Structure 1
Amino acid sequence: MSEFIGAPATTWNRVEHEDMKVKDWIVPSFGKLTEGFDIVITGIPLSRSSISASAASEYPDFFRKSWQFFSTYSIDDNVDFRHLHVADLGDVKMHGTNILQCHTNIERAMMDIQIYCPNSFYVQIGGDHSITAPIVRAITQHTGKRVGIVQFDTHLDLRATESDGPTNGTPIRQLLDTGVVRGEDVYNIGLHGFYNAPSLIKAADEYGVNRITLKQFRKNGAEQQIAEVMNSLKEKVDIVYVTVDMDVLDITYAPGVPASTPGGMRSDELFDLLYEVGKYDFVYGMDFVCLDPHRDSREQQTVKTGVYAFLTVMTSRFVHLYSEKNTVTM
C-alpha cells in the first residue's frame, strides 16, 4: 500500500472474454502495490501548476472513461495484447492549494511504486507537465542511474525557475538546474513554429539540450529518428524516461490541449514515433501530460488520441519486448 495513492473516480472491473475492451483488461489495484505486473498506470490529477488555465487534472478520469471505446486487438500488428499484465494503481493524492506538496506526494508515490512494483514499466497520466520533474527525481533517487529524457513537445520547458516556479513551463529546467539530468541527455522532438523565445534557445544551448524540430523529424522518419536518438542515449545513459506533452500535436488534432498550436505534429506521426519508442527495453517509463478534457470536442477527440497513443506503446512493447507472451494472433 502507498499512503500517497488513492482510488480514482472512474473504475472498471477486469472481465475475461473473447472480445475484450481495454476496460475489461486493466486490473484495478488501487493503492495496492504488488509485483507481477508488466505495466502499472498511475493518474496524477494536477493542473494548478499550469501556466495556461487548464483542467488537465481531469484527464486521468477521462482517460479511464475512454477505455470502453478500444479493444485489446491491434489490426496493424494482428495481435491481441491482452496477455500483458497491466494494473491501474489509482491517482496520486493532491493537496488542494500547495503545489510543492503535490510534487512531494508525486515523488513519494513514485518511490513507493518502484519499491513494490520493481519490474514494471511505469506509465503516468497527467496532469500538467510540471509532474515530470518529481517523477524523474524519484527515478534517479531510487535507481541511482543516469537517466535520459526523450521529450515530445512544442516547447523547450526551460523557463527560469526563479521567475516561473515549479510550473508546466519549467520541468526540464528544474531537472537540469539541480543536476538530476544532464542537458546532453535530453532530446526534444517536435519543436516547431514561433513558440520558443530566444532566451529559451540560449538556455538550451548553454545546457546542451538536443533539439529536433518537426521539419527535421519529417525528413528522417519515425524509425530512423528514434533509432538515432536511442542509439545516442544508449552510449551515455542507463535508462530513458519519455514525456509526451500533447501540445506537440497540431491544434486540428488536439483541440483539448490548452497550449496547442498551428503547425504541429499529426496524430499518426506521434503514434509512429511512440511505436518506435516502445521497442527499446531501456525505456523505464513515460507520461502523457497537458490535456484538458473540458476543452475537447464533443466526441472527446483529444482524450481518445491520448488513449490511442498509450495503446500504441503497449502494442509495441508486447510485440517487441514480451515475445514469450506474444501468443495471441488472429
Structure 2
Amino acid sequence: MRKEEIMLQDYRVARPYSYLQASDKDLYTAKWGNKIQLLDLNDDSLPAFDTLQFGLIGFKSDKGVYINNGRPGAVEGPREIRHQLAKMPWHLGRDIEVYDVGDIDGPNRTMEQLQESLSYAIERMLQLNLFPIVIGGGHETAFGHYVGLKHGTRKDVSRLGVVNFDVHFDLRPYYKSGPNSGTGFRQMHDLNHDRGEYFKYLVLGIQEHSNNLNLFDFVAKTDNIDFLTSQEMYKMPYDKIREMVDEFTADMEKIYLTIDMDSFNSAFAPGVSAIQSLGNSPQLTLALLEHLAASGKLLGFDVVETSPSHDIDHHTANLAATFIFYLTRIIANTNVD
C-alpha cells in the first residue's frame, strides 16, 4: 500500500445487518446470507489468502451525483443491494468464500477524500488476494476504484483497460466545476496521459440524447476510446458485438469493469440517479458480462447508481445483485480452471 500503516480513512467495518440468517452448511439450500463472512481490513494480523476470494465493499456516497444535478439517493445503494444479494442461492461451492469488508462512508468528507479512501481500501484488498466488488454509490465510485486497482497492481499489470456499461461517457471536463459523477473517466484519462501510461476505454450502451456534442468530439479526437450506442447494440447480432468487444480488449492485460445501473431501460431499473426511457437490455448485458468474466482478465468490478428511494419493488437493487451473482460464478470457475 502507499501508506506504511494499515489504518484506512473513512472506513466502517461491516455489520451483520444484511446477513442475519443462520449459517447453513448444506450447499444445496444455502443462500449468500448464510455464507458471507465479515472481515476487517484494518486488522493487520490478516494473512493473504492462498487462493483468490471475493470481497464486497460499499461506497456510501452520491456527492458526485448531487454535484452533477442527478437524483440523490445512491448513498443507500450498498445497503439495499446487500439485502437483495443475501437472498440469492449459493452456487460458489466449498472452496470459494465471499467476505463483506464494510464501507467507505464519510458524510462530512469531500468526494475527493472519499475516492482516495476507497483507493487505499482496494489496494488493501488486493494485498489480501481479495477480488474487489464495489457496491456504489454514485459513479464517482469509479475513479477511486480504478486508482486502487492501478496502484495495487503497478508492478504486475502495465495495461489496465476499462469497460463501462453506461449511457453516459462520463468524460466531462472538471477543471472549473470540479470532479463529479460525470467526470471519473476523464480523470482516469488525464491521470494516465500526464504519466505517459496506458489507458484504453470502452463504453457500451451510449445514448446520443444523453451526451452533448463536446463529449462525442473529445472521443473522436482521443486515441483508445471507443463505444457502441444502445441503438447499435439493439440492431447488431450478439456475435458482432462480442467480436467488437474482443478486438478492443485484446491488448488489455487486465480489465476494470464498471456497471452503471442507469444504463438500463427504466422498466428494468427505475431506481437510478438518471432514468432511461431507452436503455440496454439486461439479458444482452448479462451475456456480455459473462463473456468478459470468462476471459480471465477481470481485476475488479463495481455496480453503481442504484438509488433505493426511487426504486419500485427493489427491481434495480435486485438486478444489481443478480449481476454480482452471475459474475462471481463465472470468475470463480475461470479462476479454478
Same fold (TM over 0.5): yes
2:19 maps to 1:12 = yes
2:18 maps to 1:3 = no
71 and 226 in structure 1: CA distance in 2 versus 1, 3 angstrom threshold: same
Q: Do the aligned partners of 2:8 and 2:117 also contact (CA within 8 Å) in 1? A: no
2:36 maps to 1:26 = yes
Aligned residues: 313
230 and 2 in structure 1: CA distance in 2 versus 1, 3 angstrom threshold: farther
Q: Secondary structure at the match of 1:165?
A: coil
Residue 149 of structure 2: aligned partner: 139
Larger mean Cα displacement after TM superposition, 264-273 or 42-51: 264-273
Runs of 5+ in structure 1 lacking a partner?
Answer: 74-79, 324-330
1:220: Cα distance to partner?
A: 4.2
Q: Do the aligned partners of 1:40 and 1:123 also contact (CA within 8 Å) in 2? A: yes
Larger mean Cα displacement after TM superposition, 259-268 or 286-295: 259-268
* Alpha-carbon distance in 1 for matches of 2:253, 2:77: 31
* Alpha-carbon distance in 2 for matches of 1:221, 1:21: 35
1:125 pairs with one of 122, 135, 144? 135
Name the amino acid aligned to 2:191.
T
Name the amino acid aligned to 1:29.
L
2:312 maps to 1:294 = no
1:304 pairs with one of 306, 318, 331? 318
Residue 327 of structure 1: aligned partner: none
* Alpha-carbon distance in 2 for matches of 1:285, 1:57: 21
1:175: Cα distance to partner?
A: 0.8
Provide the TM-score with structure 1 as the length reference.
Answer: 0.87
Q: Do the aligned partners of 1:256 and 1:294 also contact (CA within 8 Å) in 2? A: yes
1:279-327 CA deviation, whole Å, 9 max, x = no partner?
Answer: 0212101111111011101x2111101000111101222344324xxxx
Q: Secondary structure at the match of 1:202?
A: helix
* Alpha-carbon distance in 1 for matches of 2:153, 2:101: 21
1:165: Cα distance to partner?
A: 1.6
**Please, what is the CA RMSD of the aligned residues?**
2.3
Q: Do the aligned partners of 1:153 and 1:189 also contact (CA within 8 Å) in 2? A: yes
1:227: Cα distance to partner?
A: 4.8
2:186 maps to 1:173 = yes
Q: Do the aligned partners of 1:53 and 1:258 also contact (CA within 8 Å) in 2? A: yes
Residue 3 of structure 2: aligned partner: none
1:93: Cα distance to partner?
A: 3.4
Q: What does residue range 204-283 of structure 1 map to in structure 2 within 5 Å? A: 204-208=219-223, 209-222=225-238, 224-235=240-251, 237-283=252-298
* Alpha-carbon distance in 2 for matches of 1:138, 1:185: 17
194 and 109 in structure 1: CA distance in 2 versus 1, 3 angstrom threshold: same
1:53: Cα distance to partner?
A: 2.8
Q: Do the aligned partners of 2:18 and 2:86 also contact (CA within 8 Å) in 1? A: no
Residue 326 of structure 1: aligned partner: none
Name the amino acid aligned to 1:65.
H
1:55-111 CA deviation, whole Å, 9 max, x = no partner?
Answer: 1111111111113432124xxxxxx54542221111123252422211221122222
Residue 60 of structure 1: aligned partner: 78
Q: Secondary structure at the match of 1:168?
A: coil
Q: Do the aligned partners of 1:60 and 1:125 also contact (CA within 8 Å) in 2? A: yes
* Alpha-carbon distance in 1 for matches of 2:316, 2:167: 16
Q: Do the aligned partners of 1:41 and 1:87 also contact (CA within 8 Å) in 2? A: yes
1:221: Cα distance to partner?
A: 4.5
Runs of 5+ in structure 2 lacking a partner?
Answer: 1-5
1:7: Cα distance to partner?
A: 2.1
1:103-146 CA deviation, whole Å, 9 max, x = no partner?
Answer: 2211222222222x23x321111111111112212222232222
Name the amino acid aligned to 2:177.
D
* Alpha-carbon distance in 2 for matches of 1:224, 1:34: 44
300 and 233 in structure 1: CA distance in 2 versus 1, 3 angstrom threshold: same
Residue 177 of structure 2: aligned partner: 164
Q: Do the aligned partners of 2:160 and 2:199 also contact (CA within 8 Å) in 1? A: no
Q: Secondary structure at the match of 1:121?
A: strand
1:230-261 CA deviation, whole Å, 9 max, x = no partner?
Answer: 443232x3211001111110111111012121
Name the amino acid aligned to 1:88.
D
1:284 pairs with one of 296, 299, 309? 299
Larger mean Cα displacement after TM superposition, 56-65 or 221-230: 221-230
1:183: Cα distance to partner?
A: 8.6
2:97 maps to 1:92 = no
Residue 195 of structure 1: aligned partner: 210
Residue 35 of structure 1: aligned partner: 48
* Alpha-carbon distance in 2 for matches of 1:190, 1:149: 14
Q: Do the aligned partners of 1:93 and 1:105 also contact (CA within 8 Å) in 2? A: no
2:324 maps to 1:315 = no
* Alpha-carbon distance in 2 for matches of 1:197, 1:269: 26
- Identity percentage over the alignment? 20
Q: Secondary structure at the match of 2:175?
A: helix
* Alpha-carbon distance in 2 for matches of 1:198, 1:65: 40
